[in-house]
Chains A and B, each alone.
Chain A
Amino acid sequence: MEHIEFKVKWGMVINIDKCTGCGACMVACQAENNIAPMVDGSDKTMTLNWIVVYELSNGKPFPEHEVAYLPRPCMQCGKPSCSTVCPVVATKKDEEGGIVSQIYPRCIGCRYCMAACPYHARYFNWYDPKWPKGMEKTLNISASPRPRGVVEKCTFCHHRFMEAKEKARYEGKDPMKLPEDAYIPACAEICPTGAITFGDLNNPEHKVAKLAKSKYAFRLLERLGTEPQVYYYSEREWVRRLADNYLPNEKTKGE
């Protein structure tokens, strides 16, 4: 399997202990990436949203029960399961920054990538996007609307990365050394509790680089070897334990 080590590796550290499950990230993502509203949202096999806030439970009965929320964007895996199965090279991990791309005009809608992704981070356009009359005027000019029949997913608001690089070049700065917050996806920007921190995991000056190394940081299904670029943080052991398939006798990461 082809694997590139990038100089710049964009990543997130999501602090689950700060997430109130408000859903602002999900709405901001829809607006930023031109995701059309749906009339029925309850059949979750047909809905389309690049980031989803899941509710976690410690599985205990009241009053020992605890709840936590976990926002799940695309993990931008270092070793993606999706891109390797794509028969038409519609998804690749080959650009500096380490974001897994998704090229809609190439996608033939076979959905192998959806089957391969262990995080359910990929979505299929079962329908053509439909905005109520006039609402198409609020589309973001940086993101092209997709037709039915293609797969899509979170791209860390890749267009914002392009814009940040362009701005750096224009200002005579190094686009490969973007300062903290010069590039930030819509979900991280909007989060009212600052639960989502975004930056270059390889840049020691960026907050994420340090946060990702914290004792309480973990990734989802880490032992699959997908090397996600999205990290989570929780001081609650039961939350960390849910992140991977632990055997009963195994110690949770961070303990």
Chain B
Amino acid sequence: NWPWIPKLKYGERSQVASVCKLCGAGCGLSIHKVGKRPVTAQGNVEHPLSQGGVCPLGSCAVRLLYRPARVKGPVKNNGGKLEPISWDEARRLLDEKLRGGKVACISGDENGSASELLAGFLALLGSDDFYFMPSDGQVSSIAWKMMGGKGQLGFDIENSDYVLVLGADILSSCGPVVRNQKAFASKKGKYVYAGPVQTGTAAAVDKWIPTYPGQEGTLALGIAYYLLKMGKAASLSSFARVRDFILSKYTPVAVEAKTGVRASELKKLAQELVRAKAPCVVIGSDFGQGSGSFEWAACILVNFLLGNFNQKGGLVALPENKVIKSAPLRSELNQKVLPEFLANVAGGSKKVDALLVYEANPVYALPQASQVAEAFDKIPFKVSFSTFLDETALKCDLILPNPHFLERHDDAYTPFGVGKEIYSASAPVIKPVVNAKPTADFILELAKAMGFDLGFETFEEVLQAKAESLGADYDSLIEGSAYTSNKWIDQDSLSLPVKVLENGLMPEGEGVFLAPVARNYLGNIKQALTPSEVILVKEYELNGKDLYVQVNSATARKLGLKQNDRVKLQGSGRECVARVNITETVMDDVIAAPLGFGHEAWDEYVRGKGDNVFKVLTIAEEKGSGLKVWNRSQVKVVRA
């Protein structure tokens, strides 16, 4: 009838399993196919992390195969002109550039064996400059190690009857969201959320407690104060000092001044937690990154005081695993902090000859963008292994496209936040629709050409070895049944340095608190807003090309702002242009701003829409750990 409308191409229907790699949650997918073509992605009912559900981003997975921004084949970036080269040529070039030089790597794959492989390759090259993109999971690992802990922390919220969430938007954007939503849906008790904005989590939980951004740790210690008053104790070697410090410094008055949460509310929370059979306190920055070891130490302490460590429904320590001999364990890799590395490169104290970027977009998604750009300019040879033409790829000398995750072998090992050890693996669902080559296989080839032995010929062998080392059946993993275990790691003596606890007492700077808001339908730090999600964006997040930021009416009055006013948010020497939306979903003296806009690369679905809030986040140094934190950025709001 309508020849200009696409005709449906019929074929036999089937379903195959896959594992989503669009964020760190590692959901099991069920890919519906017609003939050889995948058509839709749905949740895998058999998989413990998706249980048939999937987030909006995961739901777009199949359509992303044909996102216009895909890198169509290996290219050399000749001053902005992308010139095609062959894979062999690319390998020879890398062989030449990486030999004898100082090589670093940035990976956005926080749970996959590909990162392990890259870290192992770097180790053979004599470098330990492997960095994950920053995340709360990484900081939890740093705090846990600082306390002398072993394994990876997780939250067994499925079995909890009282979940108190401080900051982390666990039902919208933080951690394994679908699994969190499933746990929430079948909850036995109560969920309480404390944060500056009424996010998706705040909308659904039993109670929302407004609290200033970046004050999650202080709030936790405010609760710890009452728990200590009740005589609760934790088995820490430094417990007496920790207790005295909290009782003298984190008094309800001090905590209220910092967090905005009343003493009576803190006391009530403490009492409800104590009354619960299996309470769990979850912490995190409200946008999934930028927190410090202070927040995590405070969270660990509260859970210890509640006596729920390594208990059903509580905070748990999970085992670790690796199969690449030369690679460090994930918890060791997590000790290396990317913003610190980039600051050193930008400042000249660290020299790097070559940088490999895997599945990450640091040029877009890191705070203090000017410093990132400066660091990138100082590295003479950069390679991006990105599936899509993102901001980082455009800054690299070589772009060697990794296939879309549906076109390659991949895996996910115990995503951060889950309460048990989980391993999922997947095989390609379709042949690459562009000239892409799995990065992991390319690295194995390259290593071999350079005379290194990583112990495996193909990446599939790595996954098979991983399955074997866990005692899992590789074929069933590929078919969609994840491996799980309920092993929790016993700990030796733990301690908590009091110095770190001082961070909650630091005076605040000037300006309005900035609460960046991440939502899965706005894309994430890896994937820009997808074509299918464009219509999901709310009018109060983006209108035309204008980014919208949110303040409540009291704050608007204070700042002299009216609806739709054009403003500039200024922070860390940069600024962000936006319009004002007045809404009561934000607490007093806080400005909420959606993350995910202001892309300069990608495709017409995102390019030039709104502004990038990452630019105005300010990095501060944490006392006691020296860690970089940016969860309590403040901005100056001026009229544009």
* Interface 9-residue window, one of B52-60, B160-168, B357-365, B623-631: B52-60
User: Interface size of A by Cβ–Cβ distance < 8 Å?
Assistant: 62
Q: Contacting B9 at CB < 8 Å: which of A26, A63, A133, A137? A: A137
Docked-complex contact A189 and B52, CB < 8 angstroms:
yes
Q: Contacting B56 at CB < 8 Å: which of A22, A135, A136, A193? A: A22
* A133 in contact with B66 given A23-B56, A48-B535, A63-B587 (CB within 8 Å): yes
A135 surroundings in chain B (CB, below 8 A): 63, 65-67, 531
Docked-complex contact B172 and A192, CB < 8 angstroms:
no
A27 surroundings in chain B (CB, below 8 A): 56, 59-60, 521, 532-533, 536
* A61 in contact with B535 given A20-B200, A23-B56, A42-B543 (CB within 8 Å): no
Docked-complex contact B34 and A189, CB < 8 angstroms:
no
- Within 297-356 of B, Cβ neighbours of A (below 8 Å) are at none
A38 within 8 A of B: yes
* Interface 9-residue window, one of A72-80, A124-132, A240-248: A124-132
* Interface 9-residue window, one of A90-98, A138-146, A168-176, A204-212: A138-146
CA of A174 to CA of B616, assembled, Å: 62
CA of A110 to CA of B43, assembled, Å: 39
User: Interface size of B by Cβ–Cβ distance < 8 Å?
Assistant: 75
A134 surroundings in chain B (CB, below 8 A): 65-66, 433
- Within 505-545 of B, Cβ neighbours of A (below 8 Å) are at 519-521, 531-539, 542-544
A22 surroundings in chain B (CB, below 8 A): 55-56, 171-172, 177, 181, 200, 519-521
Q: Please indicate which of the listed interface residues A28, A69, A131 has the most CB atoms of chain B within 10 Å of its own CB.
A: A28
Residue of B nearest to A20 (CB): B200
Docked-complex contact B535 and A18, CB < 8 angstroms:
no
B605 within 8 A of A: yes
* Interface 9-residue window, one of A3-11, A29-37, A215-223: A29-37
Docked-complex contact A31 and B59, CB < 8 angstroms:
yes
Docked-complex contact B521 and A23, CB < 8 angstroms:
yes
Q: Please indicate which of the listed interface residues A23, A40, A144, A145 has the most CB atoms of chain B within 10 Å of its own CB.
A: A23
Docked-complex contact B34 and A39, CB < 8 angstroms:
no
Docked-complex contact B604 and A39, CB < 8 angstroms:
yes
B451 within 8 A of A: no
A31 surroundings in chain B (CB, below 8 A): 39-41, 59-60, 62-63, 532
B471 within 8 A of A: no
Docked-complex contact B539 and A42, CB < 8 angstroms:
yes
CA of A14 to CA of B587, assembled, Å: 29
B531 surroundings in chain A (CB, below 8 A): 37, 132, 135
* A65 in contact with B584 given A135-B63, A190-B53 (CB within 8 Å): yes
Q: Render B21-39 as a binary contact track against A, CB cut-off 8 A, 1 for contact.
A: 0000000000000100111
B6 within 8 A of A: yes
* A41 in contact with B534 given A63-B210, A133-B66, A137-B66 (CB within 8 Å): yes
Docked-complex contact A20 and B203, CB < 8 angstroms:
yes
CA of A138 to CA of B404, assembled, Å: 15
CA of A83 to CA of B533, assembled, Å: 30
A147 surroundings in chain B (CB, below 8 A): 2, 4-5
B384 within 8 A of A: no
B535 surroundings in chain A (CB, below 8 A): 26, 30, 37-38, 41, 47-49
* A192 in contact with B584 given A129-B5, A131-B6 (CB within 8 Å): no
Residue of A nearest to B38 (CB): A138
B554 within 8 A of A: yes
B532 surroundings in chain A (CB, below 8 A): 27, 30-31, 37
B520 surroundings in chain A (CB, below 8 A): 22-23
B190 within 8 A of A: no
Docked-complex contact B40 and A138, CB < 8 angstroms:
yes
Q: Render B408-440 as a binary contact track against A, CB cut-off 8 A, 1 for contact.
A: 000000000000000000000000010000000
Docked-complex contact A138 and B66, CB < 8 angstroms:
yes
A145 surroundings in chain B (CB, below 8 A): 5-6, 8
Least distance between B531 CB and chain A CB atoms (Å): 4
CA of A251 to CA of B197, assembled, Å: 31
* A139 in contact with B39 given A41-B535, A62-B584, A65-B585 (CB within 8 Å): yes
17 pairs across A/B with beta carbons < 8 Å?
A23-B519, A27-B56, A28-B40, A31-B39, A31-B63, A38-B535, A41-B534, A42-B539, A57-B585, A66-B198, A134-B433, A138-B40, A138-B62, A190-B52, A191-B53, A192-B177, A193-B184
18 additional A-B pairs beyond A138-B37, A192-B181, beta carbons within 8 Å, are A20-B203, A23-B521, A27-B60, A27-B521, A27-B533, A30-B532, A30-B535, A37-B531, A38-B534, A63-B587, A65-B552, A66-B198, A129-B5, A132-B66, A138-B63, A139-B6, A139-B9, A190-B53
Which are the 10 A-B pairs with shortest beta-carbon distances?
Answer: A192-B53, A37-B531, A65-B584, A134-B66, A20-B200, A41-B534, A192-B181, A135-B66, A41-B535, A136-B6
